[in-house]
Structure 1
């Protein structure tokens, strides 16, 4: 699972962008792309590699634009609302990918997309199990939210996990955090262990946004 530019001390790739684009509120697609340009340049351009890799996974997948939009909306809690702004999910990712490619090629003109990482079936199943486990609570929090309802989050996450469990896990965490889903200490510890198995730093898994209730038995 080793990939370049993974240990940056912050959340990485698409899940990192989703976290950072929420505040302050971004009012338009053009302003959103300005944020992407800024984020892609962080760490001397290293962030652009992970962000591009995540975008390529989804763009090369059979996920629909709506499924991509749902995953984005879940992680951002609609703070940057593709639906309200009329932005197509796949077109949004293509714009991000173009910005990242340009940033990488500014340093390495010969750059071509890296091959997709080899996926361990045991890791995929471990991530899928966490999606199944928290699925009912996440579905309740998203589809039945009083003022920001969102359907289809759990099925979309399952599809991403089948493709790339690393990205699926990070998007799961963003959705759980975005909708402030209650989790217990046992689940929290499993997330840390799974993040370690995926080669993610602890600061990617726990960035202070969890809603932890120690008394929960999950």
Structure 2
């Protein structure tokens, strides 16, 4: 993944989850949304989406955790669970779409195996997950039909088994979708973590509306 993609407002799998907002069906089918995301910037978005999806698919995470992360990051916007599709099956569909796009430019394209995830910021990401553990499950429960079980354990597993970068972005998506209040010090730590991951400022700013909601 290039530095340019990390500086974008979002990228990869978490950018795709943003597409499944309340009115997403007006834009097409689920796979058409995936294809549109992969096509962004002339297809240059496809490698980041492919990398995230492969990393999660090939990680040791149990399938229930993969499913929970997708559902929570979209607030069940695309409810694969109710369609009888598990998280790994859905990732395989996303990967197929990405490969189709990449092979338009290079018919011989074969994705490299994901590099082992960096562990350098795992502890910091786990600390931030721990600090929202009391609030996040409560906020999810309050969303009624959009409730998802096991999100905090899934985020912890993602941080250790799929990499802190992806886990941190998924954490931000879950907090934003379920309107979990943040304090200014929490947000400041998120911004510092984002800078250390090499993100552009807008990626973390997507949760600044959560500061002091209470």
What is the TM-score normalised by the length of structure 2? 0.89
* Residue of structure 1 equivalent to 2:14: 15
Q: Residues 157-208 of structure 1: CA distance to partner in whole angstroms, max 9, x if unpaired?
A: 1111112111000000000001110001111111111011011111122236
Consecutive unaligned residues of structure 1, counting only runs of 5 or more, are: none
Quickly say closer, same or farther: Cα 1:26–1:199, change in 2 above 3 A. same
Distance in 2, matches of 1:5 and 1:53, equals: 15
Q: How many residue pairs get matched? A: 212
What is the TM-score normalised by the length of structure 1? 0.88
Q: Residues 8-42 of structure 1: CA distance to partner in whole angstroms, max 9, x if unpaired?
A: 63211111100112242339xx8100110111000
Q: 2:126 aligns with which of 125, 128, 131?
A: 128
Quickly say closer, same or farther: Cα 1:118–1:94, change in 2 above 3 A. closer
* Residue of structure 1 equivalent to 2:33: 35
* 3-state SS of 1:83 partner: coil
* Residue of structure 2 equivalent to 1:177: 176
> 1:130-149, aligned counterparts within 5 Å?
130-149=128-147
How far the C-alpha of 1:212 sits from its partner, in A, is 1.4
* Residue of structure 1 equivalent to 2:54: 56
* Residue of structure 2 equivalent to 1:111: 109
Report the aligned-residue RMSD: 2.2
* 8 Å contact kept, 2:8–2:199: no
* 8 Å contact kept, 2:7–2:199: no
Distance in 1, matches of 2:78 and 2:208, equals: 18
* Residue of structure 2 equivalent to 1:26: 25
Consecutive unaligned residues of structure 2, counting only runs of 5 or more, are: none
